Structure 1
Amino acid sequence: MSKALIKQTSRSLNPQWKARQGETLSLSKSIIEGNAKLAQIEMGLTINETFSKPHLRSVFIGDHSSVGFSVVNVLVTRFIDSFAFTTKLNADQIDSLTVDTLENFAYESLEDVILFFKMCRSGKFGVAKKSIDSNLIFGEWYPKYLDKKAELREQKYNTQKNERNSIPTTMDDVKKSYAKIEKKNFVKRVENYIDKITAYMDRQMLEDTILDWSKNPGRKPYLDILKRKRKTIKQ
């Protein structure tokens, strides 16, 4: 199983991730019904926020696939209508652009779609001189959006990495780490020692040794390790 598939499966079983998928579905239905205040959503939305949102492909599956098409269709229509061109796209062209959007944003979020259309509309990736079509949107503007998102993702990763590396390590932390390692190594040596002394023991000899260790303060802490031999020494 690939790392990507393992990560996707892990997320799908995560209650928090399922809750985020539910939030996307809820937002989608509000947009379709015309109850979402998209202008306010756009104003407060940033690319950094999209990193924690579920992908369209993970949300709009099965019974929810029609919801995906409908919400993107609404967003596409709104986006196209925001331009003052005399010639508008017809219904079939809007549907085609909706399909193109769903395919290109399959591994991006609904918030990505909203933010991308806002940035295109405001000329962040270039100016539409004549008309708007799929070639312009996904051939020229979309790659620029992905580049910007990749750059911010790298910055976020480096920031988190630097924060982890900047956590101070005190001498007490070092001592505790060494103490844990030393204890683990000592327990391993005790286990090896017990393996040697019990190699030729019968059950009665083992029980006598267990009784002897129970009376010895120095050996008593490791009595449980010795008792485990009851599982292998039956006679």
Structure 2
Amino acid sequence: MSKELTKQTNKSLNPQWKARQVETLSLSKNIIEGNAKLAQIEMGLTINETFSKPILRSVFVGDYSSVGFSVVKVLVNRFIDSFAFTTKLNDDQIDSLTVDTLESFAYESLQDIILFFKMCRSGKFGVAKKSIDSNLIFGEWYPKYLEKKAELREQDYNAQKNELNSTPITMDDVKKYHAKVEKKNFVKRVENYIDKITEYMDRQLLEDTILDWSKDPNRKPYLDLLKRKRKTIK
């Protein structure tokens, strides 16, 4: 498994990242149904925004693989139709180009495809003189897009590194950090203590203990941790 896919897999466990996956699936279904305003999406889309989007391999998996093929096919048809060539691709050629697009953008996002097709259409990577095919799109134009994306990613990384290096760390910052870590460790010890004392409690004993803690100034700050046991002790 590549580092990029491993990073994306780890991110997929994050609720916020899961929400972005759902957002991509929703956008895909709107595109398939013709409800997405692709022109408006294109106008406001930048390469920098694609960095925070989930890759195709992490979205269009399992039951959603057919959604991936369908949405990319819609984008491919739209892209091909934007050129004024008299000879158009047949259905088999469109399907082949769709598969090529899915494979090439497996580690990129749906927004990457939308933006890439827009940039190709507007001649950012070169001019199509006779016709459009996979050799031109993925042999010449696609590497240029990835190169541009890599340059912007490097610029973002350097900017973040410079900002971090330019921010001085004071002794007060160090003290706050250690205090935060110590508090987190203490809360963990309290949680372990609660797990131990409630292991064999029934619901009535738990409620009695909650009442006792509510009257104890030293234990009251951690009362919410004890109350969480109501979810498991019935």
TM over 0.5: yes
Q: Give the Cα–Cα distance (whole angstroms) in 1 for the partners of residues 69 and 107 of structure 2.
A: 15
Q: Which residue of 1 aligns with 2:139?
A: 139
TM-score with structure 1 length normalisation? Answer: 0.72
Q: Give the Cα–Cα distance (whole angstroms) in 1 for the partners of residues 148 and 72 of structure 2.
A: 22
After TM superposition, the structure 1 = structure 2 runs for residues 72-221 of structure 1, keeping only pairs within 5 Å, are: 72-170=72-170, 172-173=172-173, 176=175
Q: CA deviation at 1:10?
A: 1.9
CA deviation map 1:190-214 (0-9, x unaligned): xxxxxxxxxxxxxxxxxxxxxxxxx
CA deviation map 1:65-86 (0-9, x unaligned): 0000000000000000000001
Q: CA deviation at 1:168?
A: 2.2
More deviation in 10-19 or 41-50?
10-19
Q: Identical aligned pairs, as a percentage?
A: 87
Q: Give the Cα–Cα distance (whole angstroms) in 2 for the partners of residues 2 and 46 of structure 1.
A: 25
**Aligned pair in 2 of structure 1 residues 76, 4: CA closer, same or farther (>3 Å)?**
closer
Q: CA deviation at 1:173?
A: 4.6
**Aligned pair in 2 of structure 1 residues 56, 81: CA closer, same or farther (>3 Å)?**
same
Tell me the amino acid that sits aligned with residue 64 of structure 2. H
For residue 113 of structure 1, give the secondary structure of its aligned residue in structure 2: helix
Q: Which residue of 2 aligns with 1:28?
A: 28
CA deviation map 1:153-176 (0-9, x unaligned): 0000000111111112346557x4
Q: Give the Cα–Cα distance (whole angstroms) in 2 for the partners of residues 147 and 165 of structure 1.
A: 27
Q: Which residue of 2 aligns with 1:8?
A: 8
Q: Which residue of 1 aligns with 2:19?
A: 19
Q: In the alignment, is the contact (CA less than 8 A) between 2:12 and 2:18 conserved in 1?
A: yes
Q: Give the Cα–Cα distance (whole angstroms) in 1 for the partners of residues 9 and 57 of structure 2.
A: 13
**Aligned pair in 2 of structure 1 residues 3, 103: CA closer, same or farther (>3 Å)?**
closer
For residue 63 of structure 1, give the secondary structure of its aligned residue in structure 2: helix
For residue 66 of structure 2, give the secondary structure of its aligned residue in structure 1: helix
Q: Give the Cα–Cα distance (whole angstroms) in 1 for the partners of residues 103 and 165 of structure 2.
A: 39
Q: Give the Cα–Cα distance (whole angstroms) in 1 for the partners of residues 135 and 57 of structure 2.
A: 22
Tell me the amino acid that sits aligned with residue 52 of structure 1. S
Q: Give the Cα–Cα distance (whole angstroms) in 1 for the partners of residues 41 and 49 of structure 2.
A: 12
Q: Give the Cα–Cα distance (whole angstroms) in 1 for the partners of residues 5 and 172 of structure 2.
A: 41
**Aligned pair in 2 of structure 1 residues 138, 83: CA closer, same or farther (>3 Å)?**
same
Q: Which residue of 1 aligns with 2:41?
A: 41
Which of 1 and 2 has greater Rg? 1
How many residue pairs get aligned? The number is 178
Q: CA deviation at 1:3?
A: 5.3
**Aligned pair in 2 of structure 1 residues 5, 115: CA closer, same or farther (>3 Å)?**
closer
For residue 118 of structure 2, give the secondary structure of its aligned residue in structure 1: helix
Q: Give the Cα–Cα distance (whole angstroms) in 2 for the partners of residues 2 and 31 of structure 1.
A: 30
Q: Give the Cα–Cα distance (whole angstroms) in 2 for the partners of residues 85 and 6 of structure 1.
A: 42
Q: In the alignment, is the contact (CA less than 8 A) between 2:56 and 2:110 conserved in 1?
A: yes
**Aligned pair in 2 of structure 1 residues 171, 67: CA closer, same or farther (>3 Å)?**
closer
Q: Which runs of 5+ in 2 are unaligned?
A: 183-234
